[in-house]
């Protein structure tokens, strides 16, 4: 850049954001190491206290367990944050959205059965290919499916449907769960916003970042007491002739 060229406000803001994201990611990584040491020593302390059988040792064990739980919560939060902060450009290859959906649904087959939830799939066999990164896209889909199962009671349903539109390849994930209100819909993709006890509030924001990194978009419709529908749309992979 020459001395006569000026940085646009948008470019300056983007550079500032990337610098802050890099700094936050480095800080989270540095916190992760001593936190692991604390967790390990809490486990060792718990083993030592287990050799004593007294009212005082039992009270101490309860307090140690509280500290362990909070350490595990912080480790989970840091893990989710690092995944969110480090998501950058990813290498995309031609692939099948159906295959990704099928892999994720099979991974949650046992949990769905245990919860008494019927999983229905309507996957378009003529679906065009999309550009995808398998591991990250499956991570995003797993978050959505996991949330749907947790929101759906016994006897409920989860439906996965893929189809083509004029401009995209789409996936609907529809559950018959408890649904969410409009205020939650407005904020659910904001980092650290959560209505789930113990949640990091980074699952849905990370899922959206992954989908957008695929050139796609995600939208949601929900009604309290009726269920929720997430729609994912991806650009069709153009064929080279």
Domains, the chain: 9-85 (1.10.287), 93-235 (3.30.565.10)
pLDDT digits (tens, 9 = 90+) for 193-203: 777 766 667 78
H helix count then E strand count, the chain: 7, 7
DSSP run (H or E) holding 12: helix 9-50
Residue 1: predicted pLDDT = 47
CB contact at 8 A, 129 and 237: yes
For the entire predicted model, the pTM comes to 0.69
**228, β-bridge pairs:** 175, 222
Q: Which residues pair with 95 in a beta bridge?
A: 130
| Cβ neighbours, 10 Å, residue 24 | 14
Which residues of the chain are under the pLDDT cut of 50?
1-3, 240-241
| Distance in angstroms (rounded) separating the CA atoms of residues 47 and 68 | 13
DSSP secondary structure letters along 17-39: HHHHHHHHHHHHHHHHHHHHHHH
Structure tokens at 132: 């995808």
What does the pLDDT look like over 14-43, one tens digit per residue?
Answer: 565 566 566 666 666 677 777 778 878 888
Element spanning 74, H or E: helix 55-85
- Please list, in sequence order, all residues whose beta carbon lies within 8 angstroms of the beta carbon of residue 129, skipping any fewer than 6 positions away: 94, 95, 96, 236, 237
């Amino acid at each position: 850049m020459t001395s006569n060229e000026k940085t646009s406000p948008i470019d300056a803001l983007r550079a500032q954001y990337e610098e802050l994201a890099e700094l936050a990611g480095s800080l989270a990584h540095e916190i992760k190491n001593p936190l692991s040491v604390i967790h390990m020593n809490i486990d060792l302390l718990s083993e030592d206290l287990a050799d004593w059988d007294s009212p005082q040792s039992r009270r101490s064990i309860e307090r140690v367990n509280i500290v362990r739980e909070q350490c595990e919560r912080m480790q989970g939060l840091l893990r989710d944050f690092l995944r969110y902060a480090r998501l950058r450009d990813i290498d995309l290859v031609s692939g099948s959205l159906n295959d990704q959906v099928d892999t994720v649904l099979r991974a949650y087959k046992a949990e769905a059965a245990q919860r008494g939830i019927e999983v229905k799939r309507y996957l378009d066999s003529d679906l065009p290919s999309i550009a995808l990164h398998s591991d990250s896209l499956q991570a995003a889909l797993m978050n959505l499916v996991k949330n749907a199962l947790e929101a759906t009671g016994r006897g409920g349903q989860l439906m996965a449907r893929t189809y083509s539109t004029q401009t995209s390849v789409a996936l609907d994930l529809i559950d018959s769960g408890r649904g969410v209100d409009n205020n939650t819909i407005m904020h659910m993709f904001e980092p650290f916003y959560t209505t789930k006890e113990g949640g990091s509030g980074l699952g849905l924001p990370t899922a959206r970042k992954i989908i957008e990194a695929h050139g796609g978009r995600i939208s949601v419709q929900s009604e309290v007491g009726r269920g929720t529908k997430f729609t994912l749309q991806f650009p069709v992979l153009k064929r080279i002739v």
